[in-house]
Structure 1
Amino acid sequence: MKILALDASTEALSVAVVDDERDYELEHFEIAPQAHGRRLLPLAQELLERAELALADLDGLAFGRGPGAFTGLRIAAGLIQGLAAGVDRPVVPVSTLAALAARCLYNDARVQRVRVVQDARMGEIYSADYQRGQGADPEPLGVERVMRPAQLDADTASAYTRAGNGWHVVAGERGVAPEMLEPVEQWPHALDIARLALPTLRAGEGLPAAQALPVYVRDDVARKPGGRR
C-alpha cells in the first residue's frame, strides 16, 4: 500500500509518504503557523518525487481530520479532496488526537495509556484517552470531547502518558508550573496519520473524496466559551 498523508491541524504542518511494500517512510515536519495553505502542496509534490511516486501510483490518501485549528483542518481536507478526486483514490480521515496517542505508543513500548489534551482556544481543550491496542495502535477509551480545563479528570491523570499542546492550559487552570504537566509529544505527525490509515485502506474502507470532511468536535465555531451547546 502506498499512501500520502497531510496534517495541518495545529501550528505544525507535516506531510508523509508511506509505501509498506518497500518498507519506505518519508516525512517532512515543521512548525509553520499560517503557512499551511502555501506549503502543503509543494511539500506533497516534493515528497512524492523523492519517493519516486506519482499521485496515480498511490492506493489512497489520508489527512488529520481534527479536532484542531478550523482553518488548518479546512485547508488539509480541501487539498486532500482535490488530489484524491483527480486520481479517483479513496481517502481516510484520521483523528488528530489518535495520531498524537499513536506517536507516544509507537515511540515507547513502555507506554500503555495516553491522555491527549489539545488547546481548543476560547478557554477550552479537546481531550481523549487511549490505550495500547493491537500492533501498538491506539484504542480509544471513550469519545473525543471539548471541555473547560477544570472538567478534566485530575484524579486519573497520573495513570496516563501526557500528549498534546493543551497541557499548559490545564496547568494555568490549576495554578501549577507548566513543566509540571509537560507532555511527551506535543504535535500530531502526518507519518502517524499514514500508519493509522493503512489498515482502513487495506480493508477497502476508504471514503470517496467528497466525503473527506473535517471533524471539529466543537459544534459551534462562533460559540462563546461556556455557552450552551
Structure 2
Amino acid sequence: MSDVILALDTSSGTRTALVRDGRVLATRTQLDARAHAEHATPLVAEVLTEAGIAVGDLTGIVVGTGPAPFTGLRVGLATAQLLALAVDLPVWGVPSLDAWAAGAFAADPGLEEVLVATDARRREVYEARYVRDPGAPGGLRRVGDFAVHRPDPVAGPVPAVGTGTTLYPEAYPVVVAAVDLDPGRLADIGLARARAGEPVPLTPLYLRRPDVHGVPGGREPLAPTTPTPAAEER
C-alpha cells in the first residue's frame, strides 16, 4: 500500500505538499505571513486537485509545529487536526526547523552540521543546531533544544540556513545557499519517525518565552506552551 501524505506548515507563510512514497506530487506556497487562515484550506484543496488525490486516499498528515508565532501556527495545527478527524487519519507533528535542516543537508551532501535560524519577530530569532545522522529517522538529529534570542554572531564557521540569515547577515557569515522550507521534507521526516516509533507530538512551539532566566549566552530554551491572548505577537 502506498503512503500518501499531506504536509502543511504555517510557521512562516503557508506551505503544503502532497507526497506519495517519497515523491512530491504537488506543492503550494503562499508567503503572506498574516493571512494563514485565508490560505491554508484553499492551498490544501489545490494540491489534492492537482494530484488527483481524494482526502479519503490519504494515509497520514504531517504538520509543522514551529517554533513560530501563535496566530499563524495555530491555523496549521487546527486545519491538520480537523482534516484528520474528518477522515480518521493519523496526524504527526514535526518541528518546522527540522525541515529547514533537512533541506540544507540535501542541498550540500558534504554538510555535517547546520544552524537553523528563523524570524521570531521582535528583533529575535529562533535557533536550533543539527547534525547529519544517517541512522536517525529523517537523516538528522537536533543537538540541544530550540532557543529564542537576539541574533548573536555565530562562533566559528558554522553554516546557517533560514529566514534569520537574510534578516541578520552579520550574525550568520556562512550560509547554505538556495534552501527554503520544503513541506515535502516535513512529510518525509514525519513518516520516518512515525514508522520508527519515535515521538511525533502535536505540541506547538509558540513565540512566548518561558519565565526563566540565566541561560548562558542569553539564549532561553523555547517552551512548548499555549499563551494567553496577550502573549500573541504584536
| TM-score between the two structures when normalised by the length of structure 2 | 0.78
Identify which range, 105-114 or 92-101, moves more after superposition. 105-114
Shift of 1:205: 6.0
Partner residue of 1:161 out of 159, 164, 168: 159
- Whichever structure has more helix as a proportion of its residues is 1
Identify the residue that residue 2 of structure 1 maps to in structure 2: 4
Identify which range, 184-193 or 61-70, moves more after superposition. 184-193
RMSD of Structure 2 on Structure 1 (CA): 2.6
Contact conserved, 2:114 with 2:130, CA < 8 A, in 1? yes
The one-letter amino acid of 1:80's match is: A
Q: Per-residue CA shift, 1:41-94, capped at 9, x if unaligned?
A: 112112112222221221110111000132110100010110011111111111
- Distance of aligned partners of 1:218 and 1:183 in 2 relative to their CA distance in 1, 3 Å threshold: farther
Identify the residue that residue 128 of structure 1 maps to in structure 2: 128
Identify the residue that residue 51 of structure 1 maps to in structure 2: 51
Q: Hey, what's the Cα distance between the residues in 2 that align with 1:76 and 1:117? A: 21
Contact conserved, 1:103 with 1:185, CA < 8 A, in 2? no
Identify the residue that residue 30 of structure 1 maps to in structure 2: 30
Contact conserved, 1:91 with 1:206, CA < 8 A, in 2? no
Q: How does 1:61-210 map to 2 (within 5 A)?
A: 61-134=61-134, 137-150=139-152, 154-156=154-156, 158=157, 160-171=158-169, 180=173, 182=175, 184=177, 187-203=180-196
Contact conserved, 1:14 with 1:27, CA < 8 A, in 2? yes
- Distance of aligned partners of 1:114 and 1:185 in 2 relative to their CA distance in 1, 3 Å threshold: farther
- Distance of aligned partners of 1:38 and 1:206 in 2 relative to their CA distance in 1, 3 Å threshold: farther
Shift of 1:36: 1.8
Q: How many residues align?
A: 209
Contact conserved, 1:164 with 1:185, CA < 8 A, in 2? no
Shift of 1:13: 1.9
- Distance of aligned partners of 1:137 and 1:205 in 2 relative to their CA distance in 1, 3 Å threshold: closer
Gaps of 5+ in 2: 211-226
Shift of 1:27: 1.5
- Distance of aligned partners of 1:118 and 1:186 in 2 relative to their CA distance in 1, 3 Å threshold: farther
Identify the residue that residue 21 of structure 2 maps to in structure 1: 20
Gaps of 5+ in 1: 224-229
SS for the counterpart of 2:78 is helix
The one-letter amino acid of 1:81's match is: Q
Shift of 1:161: 2.0
Contact conserved, 1:125 with 1:149, CA < 8 A, in 2? yes
Q: Hey, what's the Cα distance between the residues in 2 that align with 1:75 and 1:140? A: 25
- Distance of aligned partners of 1:41 and 1:61 in 2 relative to their CA distance in 1, 3 Å threshold: same
Q: Hey, what's the Cα distance between the residues in 2 that align with 1:69 and 1:43? A: 20
| TM-score between the two structures when normalised by the length of structure 1 | 0.79
- Percent identical: 33
Identify which range, 41-50 or 83-92, moves more after superposition. 41-50
Q: Hey, what's the Cα distance between the residues in 1 that align with 2:30 and 2:112? A: 28
Shift of 1:35: 2.9
Contact conserved, 2:126 with 2:146, CA < 8 A, in 1? yes
SS for the counterpart of 2:84 is helix
